[in-house]
Structure 1
Amino acid sequence: GFGSNTCEHGHDAAVICSDVSILLTGSGSTQCSGRVEVYHNNSWGTVCDDGWDLNDAEVVCRQINCGSALEVPPSADFGAGTGQIWLDNVTCSGNESSLTECQHNGFGSNRCEHSQNAAVICSGEKTVRFRSGSSRCAGRVEIFHNNIWGTVSDWYWNLNDAEVVCRQLNCGSALEATQSSKFGAGTGQVWLTDVTCSGNESSLTECQHTGWGNYYYYNYYNLLLLLQLLWTFL
C-alpha cells in the first residue's frame, strides 16, 4: 500500500527504458523539419543517410507528432552535426512506432562523416513542447509562433488548459497545472496570456487568449484597472 514499507533510500528502484528520444535540429530548421538526432547513452548524436528514404522519414515524423514525411533532403541539408553518429543503414518499413525499432547497424557502428547526416521535412506543425521537465510529458509549456519558440503566462492557467496541452502532445490526461515557473523561467518572447480553454480543444491555439505577444500590454492594462479601482475606494 502507499507509504507502507520497511525500506531505506539505498533501495530506491530505477529503470532504463528502450525508447530513444528524437529531435529535428540544424540550420534553417523548423519544428517539423531538420537534421535527425537521437538520444542514446546520455548524449545526442546524428543518423547517417546511407539508405535513408521516405519510409525512414515517415517513422521520424510520426514519432515526433509532425504528420507525414514530405521529403528526404540531400545530405546535411540542414547543416552537419557534431559528436557521435549513432545510427547507420537504417531500414524502416514505415510502420514502426520508433526509429530504434527499424533495422540498423547498431548504436555507434558506422563508416560515415557528418557531411552524410540524415534529415527530414514533415507535413505537420508541432507547435507546443515541454521544456526543463523531468520527463517528456512534464515541463514548462512553450509554443511556436512566427518562427520563434516562446512561453505561456500562468495567468488563470488551470487543469482545462493543461488538459489540452497534454492531449496535443499525446501525453494522456493532465494531472496538475503548475504555475510560477515550477520548471524554470524561460527566455525571450511570452506568446500567450490569460489562456482560457474548455478542455476539449485539440490545440492550445484554439483556446481563448489575449492575442499573440500581448503579455506586457495585458499586465499594464490590468495594472491601470487596479489603480482605478483603488482610486475609487480612496
Structure 2
Amino acid sequence: MAVMKMNCFLLFVAILLCIEVANANGVVRLNLNGSVDPSNTEGVIEVYYNNRWGSICYLDVFSMFYMYVPDVVCHQLGYTGGNIGSNSGVVNTSPVFGLVECSDSYLTLTQCSCNTDFSPNCTFADNLDITCYATRIWDNPYPGMVRLQGGNYTGQGIVQVYCNNEWAAVCNDGGLIEDETGWTICTQLGYNVYDVGTTSYTGKAWLDNVDCSSDDSDEDPPSCLSKCSGGKCPSSTFSCSTALNVTCAHGITFYPGGIKDACKFAHGLSGGAIAGIAVSGCLVGFIIGFIILCICCCKRRSSSAPVQGRSTERDNILNRRNTAINYSKV
C-alpha cells in the first residue's frame, strides 16, 4: 500500500505545512535550569506540541516505558544517545505527554508512542530530564547520510550530504525544486512534514538538482536521498550558488518517518541485497522477540504483579500503552 500518493495529497500537505511547519511541531530542546540554549546537552526535555512547549511526565512505576526516550531525543538533537538524569534543577514546565515509549532506532520523539493523557498528580519535579552523549551522530557518518545545518534547530537548514569522507551541500542551481525531494530528506531524518526552498550559498557541493519524483503516481518517493535521481555520490565536489534549504516537522502521522541507519545500506546496494538484509533482520528480530515473550510469560506465571515489557513493534507498543493508561489513572 502506498504510504503517500503525491498527486492526491499535495494540496493536503501544503495546508498541513501552514499549520505545522510554521510552529515547528515536534521540535525538542533541553531546558537546563531555565536556559534553552540549542547547545545544551542536558536538561529537562521540552517538546513543542499543539502550539506550546511542554515536558514529559516521568512516572517511576512505568520506568520501562521511558527506556529509549533519552536515546531518541538525543538522536533528534544530533547525538548518538543519552541517559535519564541531568544536572538541571526543577524546571516549571507543564507536561504535554505522559507515558512515552520509543524504539531505540527512532530519530525523532514524535515517532514514539506519546500519550497525551497524564496523571493529574504530575508535578514539575516529575519532568523527565536527560543527558546526551558527547558524540554526534554524524561523527561516524555513512555515504549518503544527510543532515541540516544553519537552521534554528536540527530539523531545519541547508541540506548537506556525506560523500567520500567529506560533508558538502546539496544544491539546486537549476531553479526547479521537486517537492518530493524535500519529502525524502525529511523522511530520512525521521520527520513526516516538510517545507523545501533554496538559499544563497557559496561553497562546496556534492549534488545538484536531485529529483526524487516518480512517473508512477501510485509510487511513494524514495525514503533515502541516495535512491533518488542524481542522489548518488559523485567522485568530486563542485561550487554552487544556490543550496537546498529544508524545514522538517511532524504533522498528522500518515507516515512515521525513517529510522536510524535505514539508509546506511541503501547507497550502492541493489534492491535484492536490501531485501535480503531486511529479511535477515526480521528473522533475527522474530527469534529475539520469541525468546523475550517466553521470558515474560514465565515471569507472569510466577508473579501476580503486572509486568512492563518493551517491543520495537509499534502495534504492540500501542496495545501495552493503552493498558498502562488504565494503571496510571488509578
Decide which structure has the larger Cα Rg and report it: 1
Query: Normalization by structure 1: what TM-score?
Result: 0.47
Flag the structure with more relative contact order, 1 or 2, with Cα contacts below 8 A and sequence separation at least 6.
Answer: 2
